[in-house]
């Protein structure tokens, strides 16, 4: 029986190192821009549209802090059929149709880099390390659409405390799973595996959730199963999916979208209604909820979480450090 109060993990095999593709492929710049512009025009699949069935299991949870109240939760069917997960295709419907090819068991997450307790953790132990919380968050995509989703997890800070980063560790880097045999729809020019990162104080913020489920059940593959992060005050691509490595590093890590389009996707990518994307306004967003069609609502600074996170960026020019 696992003692949830114990900070010790059982050891397991280290996840094999995936081969990095050329992350600075010049051809991808044009492909990504064209693909993303096309995605913005994709319509939401209608309610009742058949989707690939995944085996989901109930998760034991307790009420979490910071949850929204008084907002309409996006129906699970919509939240799981309108996704960005380029490893399974670039159309919003592609992940729900193609992600069944990814194997999420067995699964391990390696804690690496500048930490006193590097270790590889199996998924079951990771999920039982701390009690799982229900947290309903706004989820805002850089393409100006948003959802209200009940996520299940616990603060990423708890895992970071276990890893015990060294004083020289200033950033946290996330590496996502990539296997071409399980992801045949992945664009060959995109620099997989997917890479993301946060500043240490962002990663330690109580809002940042190490996430194992949604709607009271385990994550579906297209949502980033079996483990991802949710950083609710940032655009969605900052919330890395299907994580296999967490690295503690001294310098700002290279991240997939920031490397490929630094003029469009900043490292910080805080939700900011006054800093437009070069190709569309960020002042409003299409809210996907129980309505038949998405409706437009004003974008909130920091996605409405300013009281919890604005102090992290005191004195910073958020149009320069976007």
Tell me the whole-structure pTM to 2 decimals: 0.84
Instruction: Say what the pLDDT of residue 207 is.
Output: 98
8-state DSSP, 253:
P
Nearest to 160 by CA among 124, 114, 223, 193: 114
Is pLDDT of 173 > 70?
A: yes
Domain architecture of the chain: domains with CATH: 26-313 (3.90.420.10)
Instruction: Say what the pLDDT of residue 20 is.
Output: 29
DSSP calls for 46-97: PTT---------B---EE-TT---SSPPPPHHHHTTS---GGG-SSTTHHHH
Instruction: Say what the pLDDT of residue 35 is.
Output: 40
Is pLDDT of 319 > 70?
A: yes
Q: Which of 40-49, 113-122, 127-136, 278-287 has the lowest mean pLDDT?
A: 40-49
pLDDT band at 61 (very low <50, low <70, confident <90, very high): very high
Which residue matches tokens 């949850």? 67
d(CA 182, CA 176): 13
d(CA 104, CA 219): 10
pLDDT band at 55 (very low <50, low <70, confident <90, very high): low
Q: Are 148 and 139 in contact (CB under 8 A)?
A: yes
Is pLDDT of 11 > 50?
A: no
Is pLDDT of 117 > 50?
A: yes
**Long-range CB contacts (within 8 A, 24+) of 310-319:** 312/199, 312/201, 312/202, 312/205, 313/268, 313/270, 318/268, 318/270, 318/272, 318/275, 319/272, 319/274, 319/275
Is pLDDT of 71 > 50?
A: yes
Beta bridge partners of 248: 113, 172
Instruction: Say what the pLDDT of residue 30 is.
Output: 38
Q: Which of 31-45, 103-117, 198-212 has the lowest mean pLDDT?
A: 31-45
Integer angstrom CA distances of residue 306 from 72, 194, 271, 272, 312: 20, 28, 10, 11, 10
Write the pLDDT tens digit of every residue in 242-272: 999 999 999 999 999 999 999 999 999 999 9
Share the mean pLDDT of the chain.
86
8-state DSSP, 265:
S
Is pLDDT of 303 > 90?
A: yes
Mean pLDDT of 168-187: 97
Instruction: Say what the pLDDT of residue 189 is.
Output: 79
Is pLDDT of 197 > 90?
A: yes
């Amino acid at each position: 029986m696992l003692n949830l109060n114990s900070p010790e993990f059982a050891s397991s095999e280290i996840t094999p190192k995936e081969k990095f593709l050329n992350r600075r492929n010049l051809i991808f710049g044009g492909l990504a821009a064209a693909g993303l512009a096309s995605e913005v025009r994709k319509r939401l699949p209608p309610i009742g549209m058949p989707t690939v069935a995944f085996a989901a299991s109930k998760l034991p949870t307790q009420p979490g802090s910071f949850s929204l109240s008084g907002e309409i939760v996006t129906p699970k069917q919509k939240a799981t059929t309108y996704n960005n997960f380029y490893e399974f295709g670039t159309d919003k419907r592609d992940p729900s149709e193609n992600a069944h090819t990814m194997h999420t068991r067995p699964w391990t997450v390696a804690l690496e880099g500048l930490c006193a307790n590097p270790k590889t953790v199996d998924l079951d132990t990771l999920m039982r390390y701390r009690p799982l919380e229900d947290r309903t968050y706004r989820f805002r995509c850089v393409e100006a659409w948003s959802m209200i989703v009940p996520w299940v997890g616990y603060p990423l800070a708890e895992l970071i405390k276990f890893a015990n980063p060294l004083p020289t560790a200033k950033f946290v880097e996330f590496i996502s799973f990539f296997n071409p045999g399980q992801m045949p729809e992945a664009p060959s020019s995109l620099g997989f595996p997917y890479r993301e990162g946060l500043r240490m104080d962002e990663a330690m913020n109580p809002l940042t959730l190490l996430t194992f489920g949604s709607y009271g059940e385990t994550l579906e593959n297209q949502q980033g199963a079996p483990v991802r992060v949710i950083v609710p005050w940032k655009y969605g691509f900052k919330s890395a999916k299907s994580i296999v490595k967490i690295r503690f590093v001294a310098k700002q890590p290279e991240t997939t979208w920031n490397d490929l389009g630094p003029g469009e996707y900043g490292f910080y990518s805080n939700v900011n209604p006054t800093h437009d994307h070069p190709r569309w306004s960020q002042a409003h967003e299409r809210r996907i909820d129980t309505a038949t069609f998405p409706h437009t609502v004003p974008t909130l600074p920091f996605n409405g979480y300013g009281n919890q996170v604005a102090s992290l960026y005191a004195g910073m020019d958020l149009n320069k450090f976007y």
